[in-house]
Structure 1
Amino acid sequence: MRRSLKGFGDLCAAALVLAVCGWSPDAQAASGPASKAISVCHGYGCSFRSKLVLGPGDYSRIQAIMRAGARSPAAERAALKRAVQYFEERSAQVIGVRDNPKAAFGAARIKGQMDCIDESSNTTAFLHYLAGRGFLKFHKVGSKVSRGFFLDGRYPHWTAIVIDPRGVRWVVDSWYAPTGGAPDIFPYEEWKVRGVLQSGALD
């Protein structure tokens, strides 16, 4: 069930403050062939962190998912959607709570619920995991980006980024889907001009 955005200002308003202050959660550097611990943010603004260890079994499953994307950049982005879904399911197992789509007024500092800062931080950490193990053949991980700053009539919103061989930036935005839902993956140039209610590729 999609949750109301009423009062959304106190949810991602923190994103504006953090952006102005130059704060951006560091992505986890990936190293080693199999096991990796990732700190999963939740509770809005990374108020809580839960340790997720992706072990050899996870490695094999993610490797199989990403192999399906070995033909082209477009195929890799399709595989990336499925890999992010797997990562989110594993994150929910560790946290013990499933996140709802978008963000809800009054859910700040509730374990398991995620705002755009949590989502973009977690997705970026997972993208570095993929890159560090050679699973990204056609893309590299970019820095997180944001859109909106209240004065332009839009709430601040953050997303993870991958960059294709042509230098085109693609958003990997998990905020619009519940835990385990497919993230939005489409060009940043389309994403950056949208309002908070708009998700998905134009086609």
Structure 2
Amino acid sequence: MGCCGVAHAGASLEVCFNYGCASAVPVILDDDRLATAGEVLHGASDAVTERTAIARAVGMLHRLAGEQTPIVADRAGNFLDNGVDGRMDCIDHSTNTTRFLELMAARGWLRFHRVLPPARRALLIFQHFSAAIEELDVPLAEAPVSPPVAIPDYVATMLALCDCSEVLAEIAPAEHAQTLLRQAEPGARFVVDSWFVDHGEPAVVLPLAEWLNGEGPNVQ
């Protein structure tokens, strides 16, 4: 039983490593072990604290996956573990961390963010990838849910007889509200970069704009 009250029979996903996802191993994360990460996320009270919780949970899930794969040997950057089986470059990290984030989202553990495709930055001749998230303007738990629209009995007949905009106005407000919600401006975006840290440590979370400008720990 997870922290959110929904039962799951564990989680199965693929973890890749050895640079560029050259190797991949399926792992199964059982519910009892996953529950600890879920509790960390469940304790977040807003977007800021959820990002801190996400960083911790990503490290925890990497440690769980390291019990079944050689990624336990991974170290920050690319040079400290060069040639070691289980090493991960930014492609491996961005792929695996995105999968971990999608697992969190699927279980309802992310209330203030949604998962984005991996981000890419290019500085001179170097490229770097990272998992990414977007802050929600309205937390999922608080997002307005439109009630079922009750369509008056006479509407079908009136629509058959005329093209009356005032008739449609009686059933449009709820749909219009949902359209406005879908068209909302995107929220602040962040990277969740586990390449910067040793295996199992909390990932580094940075505003996407800062990361694109080269911000982050000085590792190679």
Shift in Å, 1:106: 8.9
Q: Is 2:70 the counterpart of 1:99?
A: no
Report the Cα distance in structure 2 between the residues aligned to 1:74 and 1:106, rounded to whole angstroms. 32
Structure 1, unmatched stretches of 5+, are 1-31
Identity %: 30
Q: Is 2:171 the counterpart of 1:187?
A: no
- Partner residue of 1:80? 54
1:50-89 equivalences in 2 (<5 Å): 50-69=25-44, 71-89=45-63
- Partner residue of 1:199? 216
**SS where residue 121 of structure 1 aligns?**
helix
Report the Cα distance in structure 2 between the residues aligned to 1:137 and 1:106, rounded to whole angstroms. 35
Aligned AA for 1:73? A
What is the TM-score normalised by the length of structure 2? 0.69
Report the Cα distance in structure 1 between the residues aligned to 2:9 and 2:60, rounded to whole angstroms. 16
Structure 2, unmatched stretches of 5+, are 1-6, 138-186
Name which one, 1 or 2, has greater alpha-carbon Rg.
2
Calculate the aligned-residue CA RMSD, in Å.
1.8
Shift in Å, 1:36: 1.2
Pick closer, same or farther for the CA change 1:77–1:105 going to 2, 3 Å: closer
What is the TM-score normalised by the length of structure 1? 0.74
* Preserved CA contact (<8 Å) 2:76 2:199: yes
Report the Cα distance in structure 2 between the residues aligned to 1:60 and 1:181, rounded to whole angstroms. 18
**SS where residue 117 of structure 2 aligns?**
strand
Aligned AA for 2:188? V
Q: Is 2:124 the counterpart of 1:153?
A: yes
Higher helix share: 2
* Preserved CA contact (<8 Å) 1:81 1:185: yes
